A and B are shown apart, each in its own frame.
Chain A
């Protein structure tokens, strides 16, 4: 039973972490220029 409680605790921490990361990318406004970010893998081609 303690193991499950521990797992629940750890998973909630992971969820919290992912929500914070999501909030961070939202604040960076990455979703506004996702089109440009999609081009980054091609950057070498331009040089």
Chain B
């Protein structure tokens, strides 16, 4: 049964509400394209309707995640070839596992299942959004490449299966389930005791069961914190898990002591079990968002994931780039990445260098020229090159190196938390010791002194650290995710508070990476025939300047002629013969030689050598770049622009974004950028870049981010990535880091108040297990409520 009425996007706002994108549901800015926040959303929305897949919206698809504008023409897809071969050679059935980027909801799962089910040779598909993985069960007739291409049109990206299953939160979930069951059951026994059961065999049974359940909770849940604390101590760090581990160990030891020495007063096992379950919940919340954010992207397998086509004895063999030797003959197909510097053997070929220096227009090379490593073949045909160096000497190797994970990568081990944890541990131990010594000296009663000490250690269990703070991090990370920014490293939100300087790369970061026509009015002067011919030419080329002209033409009534024959000549442009006329679009001296020297343009459109229109193109800033740069400056951040592009173009982009020339540095090599960051960064610099040429600077910066979600090795190094058309999530992330700190401080203040009261009661020997069982969850609930009120999706932070 299908739905009776066609569905509009599920995000249509109520009257008076903020306007949101019909596809992704993100708020529409002034610069939005009609009902959509970006071209990607508009295209995917149109495609979903065309393919009758609009039910995607009814299932909540796309909310909060604008589709990346997949640059499929610059993606290396050689990894797909061995998988295709395996399917072709299978007897009856084949199982193909693919990593996928961009899955976030049930709508995505449904969409991929629908596309899969429409292809011949399909059997079964399992889409796993938590892992970002798709398992295809197919017959040999199934065309894997066509399936991949079709799904990628919707903004998803596929890659070879290299993701590791996230073990951390999986293990925590199991422990959390077991400890929650233990806590609930021990509370049942505890309530009977608090209600007056204080003697007899049932009392003995319940206290013994509580002891057993407490021991089990410590073994299953407490061990997580013992292990983490021990590991931190081995690295001479006072990790936030240390006070939790000490709290659990001492509370358990004190309760056992109480059980052994004076059963009638029962013990704190039920409180301890609830505490362990809450701590595990906090830990799991913290792990979950980070893992899901990481799984959203393809895994980076760095240089090891690169393949090359090598000619061996007249045959083409797919080989790992690490095996390329100097002198090897390489065949580079359109869209392939060149992994080493190589000498072009064919007459002519064009390559895109945007990875290397940020140039968005392809460059033409001739026989004998050296094409640099990192170039993408941008022409229509494969070309032959001779490797000049082995891969071990390629500059790409260092830039694509998979970064080592920092062992202390987590909010719980940031400097601020370490200091707090140290103070906490010292404070609790000092108070407990003082209580023990004081009572022992005053009364000479060892049992009473121990009881007071146990009560102190139990009531000071750090709930604010263990549950409220992780919840605060989770809420901020989830809020940023809804706005299109994905935090990859938990420590980012702590480090972001120290940021005073924001450094942007130019191409692809501050700008969209694609050019636009400066004066689109030129098109109005063209007649209908010429305009149609121009559209036929521009629509058939993947060149960024052709795409810019096609976009500008879409404001006019034009339609493509399916029968038109367009030829693309690398380095020159496009040619269309229509009747007796020869239309050309491309280099001015080739497209309109008659107008040589007269046309102040970089692309010309001519007929039979005569100039019809000249187009000047310029790089387009991200739609909100100017606003965001000035807002960052207003907020007190020092904003810089670095680029591998020429100084003049960098200055122009900086000027357009409202930056002074002294803050714009052009012609920066990857090492120059890294040196700049080294020089300027005193633990206060955020670097935002998108290219392989930014990799070194990203590594060096205190905090780094990227919009380059189609190049997994860049986000793999960065603290966050964003998928929006604009830059606004960056400022939001910086602001939310400060808001988070305020909330955490408020939580700690509540915890301090609670501890002052309960420690006073414990020190005066007035604390009972019942009072503890009530006060401790009360304190947790208060901090949780304060956190949710300050950071929930409806809070002022996300509305401003």
Q: Are A45 and B1 in contact (CB under 8 A)?
A: yes
Contact with A along B203-237 (1 / 0, CB 8 A): 00100010000000000000000000000000000
18 of the cross-chain contacts (CB-CB < 8 Å) are A1-B201, A4-B202, A5-B205, A11-B185, A19-B181, A22-B174, A31-B170, A32-B131, A33-B128, A35-B105, A35-B106, A35-B108, A36-B126, A36-B128, A39-B59, A39-B110, A42-B110, A45-B2
A38 to B2, CA, bound (A): 17
Q: Are A39 and B178 in contact (CB under 8 A)?
A: no
- Shortest B706–chain A CB gap in Å is 26
B496 contacts partner chain A, Cβ-Cβ < 8 Å: no
Residues of A within 8 A of B174 (CB): 22-23, 26
A4 to B177, CA, bound (A): 26
Q: Are A29 and B205 in contact (CB under 8 A)?
A: no
A15 to B580, CA, bound (A): 86
Q: Are B117 and A46 in contact (CB under 8 A)?
A: yes
Q: Which residue of A lies closest to B117 (CB)?
A: A46
Q: Are A36 and B109 in contact (CB under 8 A)?
A: yes
Q: Are A35 and B109 in contact (CB under 8 A)?
A: yes
A45 to B109, CA, bound (A): 15
A8 to B130, CA, bound (A): 38
Q: Are A44 and B130 in contact (CB under 8 A)?
A: no
Q: Are A39 and B128 in contact (CB under 8 A)?
A: no
Q: Which residue of B lies closest to A46 (CB)?
A: B117
Q: Are A8 and B209 in contact (CB under 8 A)?
A: yes
Mark A residues whose CB is within 8 Å of B.
Answer: 1, 4-5, 8, 11-12, 15, 18-19, 22-23, 26, 29, 31-36, 38-39, 42, 44-46
Q: Which residue of A lies closest to B192 (CB)?
A: A4
Q: Are B177 and A1 in contact (CB under 8 A)?
A: no
Which of A23, A31, A38, A46 is in CB contact (< 8 Å) with B106? A38
Residues of B within 8 A of A15 (CB): 181, 185
Q: Are A44 and B181 in contact (CB under 8 A)?
A: no
> Does more than half of chain B's interface fall in helix, strand or loop, or is it mixed?
helix
> Does more than half of chain A's interface fall in helix, strand or loop, or is it mixed?
helix
Q: Are A23 and B177 in contact (CB under 8 A)?
A: yes
A32 to B129, CA, bound (A): 7
Name the interface residues of B226-277: CB closer than 8 Å to any CB of A: none
Q: Given A33-B126, A39-B113, are A26 and B209 also a contact pair (CB < 8 Å)?
A: no
Residues of B within 8 A of A1 (CB): 200-202
A15 to B205, CA, bound (A): 17
Q: Which residue of A lies closest to B200 (CB)?
A: A1
Q: Are B129 and A33 in contact (CB under 8 A)?
A: yes
B70 contacts partner chain A, Cβ-Cβ < 8 Å: no
Residues of B within 8 A of A33 (CB): 109, 126-131
Q: Which residue of A lies closest to B104 (CB)?
A: A35
- Shortest A18–chain B CB gap in Å is 7
Q: Which residue of A lies closest to B188 (CB)?
A: A11
B173 contacts partner chain A, Cβ-Cβ < 8 Å: yes
- Shortest A41–chain B CB gap in Å is 11
Residues of A within 8 A of B129 (CB): 32-33, 35-36
Contact with A along B1-14 (1 / 0, CB 8 A): 11000000000000
- Shortest A21–chain B CB gap in Å is 10
Residues of A within 8 A of B760 (CB): none
Residues of B within 8 A of A39 (CB): 59, 106, 109-110, 113
Mark B residues whose CB is within 8 Å of A.
Answer: 1-2, 59, 105-106, 108-110, 113-114, 117, 126-131, 165, 170, 173-174, 177-178, 181, 185, 200-202, 205, 209
Besides A23-B174, A23-B178, A36-B106, 6 more A-B contacts (Cβ < 8 Å) are: A1-B200, A5-B202, A29-B170, A36-B126, A39-B106, A39-B110
Residues of A within 8 A of B108 (CB): 35
Residue among A11, A15, A33, A35 having the largest count of chain B Cβ atoms under 10 Å: A35
Residues of A within 8 A of B128 (CB): 29, 32-33, 36
- Shortest A46–chain B CB gap in Å is 7
A23 to B170, CA, bound (A): 11
A11 to B187, CA, bound (A): 14
Q: Are A44 and B1 in contact (CB under 8 A)?
A: yes
Q: Are B114 and A46 in contact (CB under 8 A)?
A: yes
Residue among A15, A33, A42 having the largest count of chain B Cβ atoms under 10 Å: A33
- Shortest A6–chain B CB gap in Å is 12
- Shortest A8–chain B CB gap in Å is 7
Residues of A within 8 A of B173 (CB): 26, 31
Q: Are B126 and A12 in contact (CB under 8 A)?
A: no
Residues of A within 8 A of B1 (CB): 44-45
- Shortest A13–chain B CB gap in Å is 12
Q: Are A22 and B177 in contact (CB under 8 A)?
A: yes
Q: Are A19 and B178 in contact (CB under 8 A)?
A: yes
A39 to B510, CA, bound (A): 40
A42 to B170, CA, bound (A): 27
Q: Are B170 and A26 in contact (CB under 8 A)?
A: yes
A46 to B105, CA, bound (A): 18
A11 to B130, CA, bound (A): 34
Q: Which residue of B lies closest to A16 (CB)?
A: B181
A20 to B1, CA, bound (A): 38
Q: Are A36 and B177 in contact (CB under 8 A)?
A: no
A22 to B117, CA, bound (A): 32
Residues of A within 8 A of B205 (CB): 5, 8
Q: Which residue of A lies closest to B1 (CB)?
A: A45
A18 to B131, CA, bound (A): 26
A23 to B220, CA, bound (A): 13
A5 to B209, CA, bound (A): 11
- Shortest A26–chain B CB gap in Å is 5
A33 to B132, CA, bound (A): 10
Residues of B within 8 A of A5 (CB): 202, 205
Residues of B within 8 A of A32 (CB): 128-131, 170
Residues of B within 8 A of A46 (CB): 113-114, 117
Residues of A within 8 A of B114 (CB): 46
- Shortest A44–chain B CB gap in Å is 7
A5 to B208, CA, bound (A): 13
Q: Which residue of B lies closest to A12 (CB)?
A: B185
A41 to B113, CA, bound (A): 14
Q: Which residue of A lies closest to B169 (CB)?
A: A31
Q: Are A18 and B181 in contact (CB under 8 A)?
A: yes
Q: Which 7 A-B pairs have the closest CB atoms?
A: A32-B130, A33-B128, A35-B106, A22-B177, A26-B174, A36-B109, A35-B109
Residues of B within 8 A of A36 (CB): 106, 109, 113, 126-129
A15 to B117, CA, bound (A): 41
A39 to B109, CA, bound (A): 9
Q: Which residue of A lies closest to B184 (CB)?
A: A15
A33 to B433, CA, bound (A): 50
A27 to B114, CA, bound (A): 28
Q: Which residue of B lies closest to A22 (CB)?
A: B177
A44 to B1, CA, bound (A): 8
Residues of A within 8 A of B117 (CB): 46
- Shortest A28–chain B CB gap in Å is 11
Residues of A within 8 A of B202 (CB): 1, 4-5
- Shortest B80–chain A CB gap in Å is 23
Residues of B within 8 A of A35 (CB): 105-106, 108-109, 127, 129
- Shortest A24–chain B CB gap in Å is 10
Residues of A within 8 A of B105 (CB): 35
